[in-house]
Structure 1
Amino acid sequence: MTRPRILQIGSLAGSPGADTRMREQYEVIELWKAGDRQACLQSAADVEVIVTTAGHGCKREVIESLPNLKVICSWGVGYDSIDLEAAREKGVLLTNTPDVLNDCVADEAWGLLIACARGIAHADRHVRANNWEGKRGPLPLGTRVSGKKLGIVGLGRIGLAIAKRGTGFDMNIRYHNRTPRNDVTYQYMNSLEELASWSDFLIIATVGGSGTQALIDRSVLKALGPNGIVVNIARGSVIDETAMVELLASGELGGAGLDVFDKEPRVPDELKKMDQVVLMPHVASATTETRKAMTDLVLANVEAYFSGKPLLTPVSNS
């Protein structure tokens, strides 16, 4: 029996064994390995399904090169790297992998928050460099986390998981969204500056894309202040990175825990030198359990399409 053909934009290397599982079930055209990209796309004219990731995305040229394309199945929750307008013009559906990564992303947000507040990364470097044994001065005092004020930008699935953890730390929690939610007890703040000014810690969990470009700008970061800590597990583009670096350097912003960056994998050198900053390489969902669940969901969406069943996690592209 002939296996359905799919086009895979890039490797699912973040999930060990995922590429092998894909090849076992489908005839996979591996675009990232093609020496002649255009010839590869031409050979895939009959393909109805694309598999990609939030990192690899899917550009207009790919979508327009596949006349029979019906579905793009993306490994990851974000889809700002996929040309939604091109997909909409061709009536191409999109799926992603929500919910299965909520807990691990929320866990890392809290890991970054605590690491910044208590200077864990700085202290680790201090010990590794034998500065403790050499009695080279005391470390700066950390900041208490329990009982503080937590602001969340983007109270979606992940934002809610972050807030839930905050209640375990007896925190006062407020949030900012495009619109208030009527199904939560957390207080809504209409102004980002007011939320930042009120907060001890500000966690960014909103979507990426043009609509949130530099949403957390200089004024918001200044409002957070010299004792405030910003944590970003959303997209690097959501924060004005230049302003953030300058404010951290001047002491007008207290600290930052960052899993994402504006031009990743490039990270501003200034951030690497700052002890009040904790850096991670965009790995908030990188646990064995979550990455397997993400791959399972991508494959389930592909299977649903070829079986004539409803897609499991369609993304609205209206």
Structure 2
Amino acid sequence: MSKPVILQVGPYPEWDQKPIDFAFESKRLFEAEDYQSYLKEHGPSIRAIATRGELGADSDMINACPTLELISVYGVGYDAVDLEACRKRGIRVTNTPDVLTNDVADLGIAMMLCQSRGMVGAEKWVRDGSWADQGLYPLQRRVCGRRAGILGLGRIGFEVGKRLAGFDMQISYSDISAKAYAPDWTFEPDPVALAQTSDFLFVTLAASAGTRHIVGKEVIEAVGPDGMIINISRASNIDEDALIAALSSKSLGSAALDVFEGEPALDPRFLELPNVLLQPHHASGTVETRRAMGQLLRDNLTAHFQGHPLPTPVL
């Protein structure tokens, strides 16, 4: 029996690639010298697309695959997949939620601590001899007992909140509605009002057309010159021009970012700012989580081709 033909948009670790190649006939788009020619040649035989959250599958890719049945996303975010094109053709879409939740929340907390306590600069202070020559490192800001806001109390936002509670922080959140699973935290429906009462604003909501630049000039300035914005969601949720302007003018104290528009070719202005912590979109970047993500991606592909219910459907 022939293997189902899938289009692989980006590379995966070897521990995922081997079982993918064993179970499917994988057409590796990321190795093609000419994407359009490759899609024209192989698109008619493609039954599923295996992609990554930041790579997605746009309408051109979907249209090039007339027999496409499924798009399986390696990652929790699926905003880079053209869902409307999928709906029109009845194409199923899956992602890999839950398995990365804890690691993403962990990195968000680590970024808050690292930036608030100046750990990157302090480490350099030791290495370059400044400690010996100039004495103690400049004083930083505490985390415990301060105010935290969580914009988007889904799986990741909730885990962030649980960790923040260990620092005796005052926790508020914004979402579509109040959540019964967070009775001890304050619900604030207005993102600007949430920002005004947050020393640390965590951006953890799913990205969509409706959330694009939800953290704009007004929200950013409401966090204020002593506040910090931490983004472990999607870059599109923040207006980067407004963020850079606020960081440059110090109307926002600092930021810690794991995601960027156009990454990895991020806006070069970020590199000149001393008050932003930059991370290479690796919130889920642990061996344990990446193995679980790969397994779930394959489980969705296998379930589809065996006619079983999809473990984690989006559409």
The TM-score bracket by the shorter chain reads over 0.9
Q: How many residues align?
A: 313
- In structure 2, do the counterparts of structure 1 residues 131 and 268 end up closer, same or farther at CA, with 3 Å as the change threshold? farther
Aligned-pair identity in percent equals: 39
* Partner SS for 1:290: helix
Q: Which residue of 1 aligns with 2:225?
A: 226
- TM-score, length basis structure 1: 0.94
Does structure 2 conserve the Cα–Cα contact (< 8 Å) formed by 1:45 and 1:66?
Answer: yes
The structural deviation recorded for 1:166 is 0.9
Q: Which residue of 2 aligns with 1:31?
A: 29
The structural deviation recorded for 1:90 is 0.6
One-letter amino acid matched to 2:222: A
Q: Deviating runs (4+, > 6 A) in structure 1? A: none
Distance 2:294 2:127 in 1: 37
Does structure 1 conserve the Cα–Cα contact (< 8 Å) formed by 2:131 and 2:137?
Answer: no
- In structure 2, do the counterparts of structure 1 residues 211 and 11 end up closer, same or farther at CA, with 3 Å as the change threshold? same
Distance 1:16 1:111 in 2: 28
Distance 1:269 1:63 in 2: 32
Does structure 2 conserve the Cα–Cα contact (< 8 Å) formed by 1:118 and 1:142?
Answer: yes
Distance 2:285 2:234 in 1: 16
The structural deviation recorded for 1:18 is 2.0
Of the candidates 158, 169, 174, which is equivalent to residue 172 of structure 2?
174
Note the 1:14-93 alignment, pairs <5 A. 15-41=13-39, 42-93=41-92
* Partner SS for 1:256: strand
Distance 1:163 1:16 in 2: 34
Gaps of 5+ in 1: none
- In structure 2, do the counterparts of structure 1 residues 37 and 246 end up closer, same or farther at CA, with 3 Å as the change threshold? closer
* Partner SS for 1:94: strand
Q: Which residue of 2 aligns with 1:290?
A: 289
Distance 1:43 1:250 in 2: 51
Deviations 1:223-242 (A, max 9, x none): 11111111001111211111
Matched, 1:161 2:159: yes
The structural deviation recorded for 1:138 is 4.3
Does structure 2 conserve the Cα–Cα contact (< 8 Å) formed by 1:8 and 1:52?
Answer: yes
Distance 2:35 2:142 in 1: 53
- TM-score, length basis structure 2: 0.94
Distance 2:254 2:193 in 1: 19
The structural deviation recorded for 1:16 is 4.2
Q: Which residue of 2 aligns with 1:139?
A: 137
The structural deviation recorded for 1:116 is 1.1
Q: Which residue of 2 aligns with 1:128?
A: 127
* Partner SS for 1:163: helix
Distance 1:70 1:201 in 2: 42
The structural deviation recorded for 1:143 is 1.2
One-letter amino acid matched to 2:119: I
Which shows bigger deviation, 21-30 or 108-117? 21-30
Distance 1:147 1:248 in 2: 24
Matched, 1:111 2:95: no
Please, what is the CA RMSD of the aligned residues? 1.6
Q: Which residue of 1 aligns with 2:244?
A: 245
The structural deviation recorded for 1:263 is 2.6
Does structure 1 conserve the Cα–Cα contact (< 8 Å) formed by 2:76 and 2:97?
Answer: yes
Q: Which residue of 1 aligns with 2:9?
A: 9
Distance 1:160 1:144 in 2: 22
Gaps of 5+ in 2: none
* Partner SS for 1:278: strand
Does structure 2 conserve the Cα–Cα contact (< 8 Å) formed by 1:96 and 1:313?
Answer: yes
